[in-house]
Chain A
Amino acid sequence: MAAQFRMKRDYYAGALMMLIGLGAAAEGGTYHIGTLVRMGPGFFPVALGVILVCLGIIIAGTAFASREGGDERFLPAHPQWFGWLCLIGGPILFIILGVYAGMIPAIFACVFVCALGDKTATLKGTLIMSAGVTVFGVILFSYLLGVPLPLLRGITS
């Protein structure tokens, strides 16, 4: 019974809202608050933070009051850690390679790594697709649209 209580999603939901609300109110409090008619920069953040905390409490409250039912777990039935890692890793590689290596490696790495996350992906298919998107992306964004990102740093500036 106690374990079941702890797993309920709405508890986490409420807790998250309370956390954000408290953070907002705390940070907002460091700015000058002022009064309702002469609001300082801190008034709105603190007010919103307080509202969010209250909402969080009510949301957690509904979890308390309700019966069990439905998927109450936070993580999905099959958490896709590797898939998520790839999905996040792709853009991060885009950023790093874009800054240090150039557009071409950035595009290729981003697409390739993102694609790896899918369980049905094949290495060959992924490689071909990444190459294809890279070529298309370079033509579209660099030549046609002139986005200012060097293609290959150190070689073309």
Chain B
Amino acid sequence: MLKRGIVAAFVAALFAVPCAAQEYPARAVKIIVPFGAGGPADVAARIIGNAMQEKFGQPLVVEDRPGAGGLIGTMEVVKAAPDGYTLLMMSNTQTANESLVPQRKYRLMHDLVPIAPVNYSDLVLVVNPSVKAKTLAEFIVLAKAEPGKLNYASSGQGTPYHMAGELFKAMAGIDVVHVPYRSSGDARNGVIGGQVEMMIDAVPAMAPNIAAGQVRALATTGKARSAVLPDVPTASEAGVPGYGATIWLGVMAPAGTPKEIVDKLNVAISEVARRPDVVKLWAAQGAIPMSMTPQEFDAYLRADIVKWADVVKRFSQQPK
């Protein structure tokens, strides 16, 4: 009797997995955003969630779990069941954390499986109008003439903006002092108010201030010019060839999530991220959809981890 029961259970399980994938999602899916509500990751998750809800007929609930620079939310997904009902909205914060936070209790590529990227946004390098540099090249000359004199703001140690700044310093060969602030709002206040000379910030956040003349944009940080700021050259064009720093968002799931579910989600997310109405919303934020297969995304993540590991190594070697 018992043996028959075990065989039956085994057979049922064999069928359950592909069946589950076909019916997936059969109930509400939770996507955890390890950052604060109202931020770019949160907004993106809600937009995607809304669209996926229309597609699948099942709700995609966004849950914000900020804390510890993204670690708390990430840990929660790492510990969740790999059944496809708990997902993680992540960004290059997570890839940078691989090198920034050695004491974290997970390994990104080992404990999570990539599903799909969502979008990426360029950053823009702005200076306070009082700075006597009208182009990026002039700024670099100015900075080299007075090493250690100019300051740049960021929204905190280890944030993508800080990392972008450090990469820029390394590639342009200049020495500007990093002034961390508590939040991006405070940092922006600092550069608009003139206490700090420079800042690298998200394009949509700074675009209105640039238009109003409160700060001057010297370069954007992507491979191509930003659609929101077409008159601003990229850093590559303007004097630091090869420089690229963006903020990108992607979705991952706990390791062990069945391949069928991963593929299904990948197709759905890529499709949704490129829907015209969604793209319009992205454009207003200066974000451009990205689409890759899970394998491509995997390779992308690994490369990104290496890139930031290098930056972290360089600035943690600097004297404090």
Q: A interface vs B, CB < 8 Å?
A: 32, 40, 148, 157
Contact = CB atoms under 8 A, between A and B. Distances in A.
Interface string B296-320: 0000000000000000000000001
Nearest to B28: A157
A148 B63 contact: yes
Interface residues of B, number: 5
The 6 closest A-B pairs by CB, nearest first: A148-B63, A157-B27, A32-B320, A157-B28, A148-B61, A40-B320
Interface string B47-77: 0000000000000010100000000000000
Contacts of B27: 157
Interface string B18-52: 00000000011000000000000000000000000
Interface in B172-207: none
A148 B28 CA distance: 13
A15 B28 CA distance: 55
A95 to B, nearest CB: 16
Nearest to B320: A32
Contacts of A40: 320
Contacts of B63: 148
A148 B59 CA distance: 14
Contacts of A148: 61, 63
A104 to B, nearest CB: 19
A141 to B, nearest CB: 15
A148 B63 CA distance: 8
Nearest to A38: B320
B42 to A, nearest CB: 14
Contacts of B28: 157
Contacts of B320: 32, 40
Which of B28, B63, B320 neighbours the largest number of chain A CB atoms within 10 Å of its CB? B320
